[in-house]
Chain A
Amino acid sequence: MNKVYDNKAWLLILPMLALVAFSAIIPLMTVVNYSVQDVFDANTRFFTGTEWFVQMLNDPALQSALLRQFAFSLTVLCIEVPLGIGIALLMPKKGWQASAVLILVTLPLLIPWNVVGSIWQIFTRGDIGLMGWGLRELGYEYNITRSAVDAWGTIIIMDVWHWTPLIALLCYSGLRSIPEAYYQAARIDRASRWAVFRFIQLPKLTNVLVIGVLLRFMHSFMIYAEPFVLTGGGPGSSTTFLSQSLTTMAIGQQDLGPSAAFSLIYFLIILLVSWVFYTAIMNMQKDKEGGA
């Protein structure tokens, strides 16, 4: 769309800007402020420069939390994206069934995150949970408080349960925007089911998938409540992700300086990865448009 150059548009932006500034800029400044100081009490503080940053980057506990975080985000993306596309392809397109399936699929997205944790905590307990009990009955010694593998597996299944619907709904609406004529033309051209997916459906899904992958990456990278409720980060620290490390440090230990530095590093990592991913996709599309 051709946009008009007009700085009066700022007037429309102002109310929003005031609010977001209040809830984003001021707190962010506080964080930056803390990250370069050592605070003893309200009157005693020292300027520390980059000391906290260096310390945080060299902290082995945080390094492993970061690695775990990447491993987790990557795993859930690899499962949720293909699964979500698959579900979207299976969802009925018309009638009451379409509405019903739509509502059911959306359900997990609308449950408060700690309740998601509670649901899975109940579901997977060995004594009262269907899944925990069932796995034991099948002869598998399932125990998320002792086995790191079980804890990991459960958190991943929980995340798949919780967030695959987002990818599925994005793809579903992407698929719905494909005009019927495309499918008709494909039938006339005798395209196989795979060719229809590869050449008609998948290209139309690129845009929504970029959005989906970005959102999923960001949210999985910030995951807090669900594993906190389900495993409390354990056993050991095998499911302690970045947000939890951060809250423990900031609220639990009141290490303001280090946790502020950590916050900024955390934030920057998400920004960087999102930016790299987005730029890469945009460049790929540009290349395509350039043609061979």
Chain B
Amino acid sequence: MSQSKPTTPTEVRQRAAVEDKRRRRKARAVPGRLRPKLLLGLYLLFVLLPIYWLMNMSFQSNTEILGGLTLWPDNFTLEHYTKIFTTEAWYMGYVNSITYVVMNMVISILVALPAAYAFSRYHFIGDKHLFFWLLTNLMAPPAVFLLPYFQLYYTVGLFDTHIAVALAHCLFNIPLAIWILEGFMSSVPKEIDETAFIDGYSFPRFFVRIFIPMIRSGIGVTLFFLFMFSWVELLLASTLTSTGAQPIASVMTSTSTASGIDWGTLAAAGLLTIVPGILVVYFVRNHIAKGFALGRT
């Protein structure tokens, strides 16, 4: 049975030829690479259509919106945008949101960097439990913390300040940042640290000059996530503020009045909340593909 040389190469070749023809015929039946593109196109349509609709409405006057369905604005108007940019309550909503998001990003990354380094490089008493506990904070529903936060921040006099929201968002953003950064840091070989210390670098200098540049893309991705989760969160942000630091998300509820909903302004305000996200994702687009796996592939 075990011939060391195949005795029927022609037969084998014929079979392969038949097989090849069959394959090629099969390959032709599907119209090339068109189908994947079509499917992806359909999905993108699904993603964009609701956003397009929002944009469509934001450029229509309320009478036009309620007057009947139009696929694009017949009487293009910027009145809603003008209103948002000229009314202090409206534009301050954006300023407030951006303020606490940036504060939160800065705080989170500053404390998460050394902590993630500790987790990725050292064993210490209680390290595993601590890490697990941190992750459980990611799982805490904001609704659970609503009331205690309200009371806590009221007591310490931080209610209705930007820092209150920034600190509250630390609840889930710091653990998230540590988790992501730890993944990236662990993929940097430890020899780098050792070499630097032998070369006489002090820890802070090594950390800032050598280590942080090495995990640049990790930090970029982390900041992206921090932005994302702080920017989109509303429950805590609106509970911890009233008028002084009100986020845009809660200003938007003011479009709903006794006389009905101001659809146009709601749409315009909603569309404007998407803009910062687009800017952020545009800046990190080249890191996202690699970084989204959080250093864990």
Contact = CB atoms under 8 A, between A and B. Distances in A.
A and B touch in the complex (CB under 8 A): yes
Interface of A: 1-10, 12-13, 15-17, 19-20, 22-24, 26-28, 30-31, 34, 86-87, 89-91, 98-99, 101-115, 118-120, 122-123, 127-131, 133, 161, 165, 169-170, 172-174, 176-177, 204, 207-208, 211, 218, 221-222, 224-225, 242-244, 246-247, 250-251, 256, 259-260, 263-264, 266-267, 270-271, 274
A251 B147 contact: yes
A1 B190 contact: yes
Contact of A107 (B47, B136, B168, B252): B47
Contact of A110 (B43, B130, B263, B277): B277
Interface residues of B, number: 96
Contacts of A250: 143, 146-147
B100 to A, nearest CB: 13
Interface of B: 36-37, 39-40, 43-44, 46-51, 53-54, 57, 65-66, 69, 71, 107, 110-112, 114-115, 117-125, 127, 130, 134, 136-149, 151-152, 167-168, 170-171, 174-175, 178, 186, 190, 227-228, 231-235, 239, 248-249, 252, 263, 266-267, 270, 273-274, 276-278, 280-282, 285-286, 288-294, 296-297
Given A1-B190, A122-B266, A267 B140 contact: yes
A23 B170 contact: yes
Given A112-B231, A173-B288, A222-B143, A15 B114 contact: yes
Given A13-B119, A106-B281, A271-B139, 9 more contacts: A20-B175, A23-B168, A98-B289, A102-B285, A112-B249, A176-B290, A204-B297, A208-B297, A266-B144
B102 to A, nearest CB: 15
Which of B143, B174, B186, B234 has the most chain A CB atoms inside 10 A of its CB? B143
23 contacts: A1-B120, A1-B121, A4-B123, A5-B122, A9-B121, A16-B114, A19-B111, A31-B147, A90-B36, A102-B281, A107-B48, A111-B232, A111-B270, A114-B249, A114-B252, A123-B53, A128-B263, A130-B53, A131-B50, A176-B290, A250-B146, A263-B144, A266-B144
Contacts, number: 290
Contact of A174 (B186, B231, B239, B293): B293
B43 A87 contact: yes
B141 A177 contact: no
B147 A16 contact: no
A77 B279 CA distance: 29
B278 A211 contact: no
Contacts of B175: 20
Contact of A27 (B65, B112, B149): B149
A274 B140 CA distance: 12
Given A104-B48, A110-B278, A110-B280, A10 B124 contact: yes
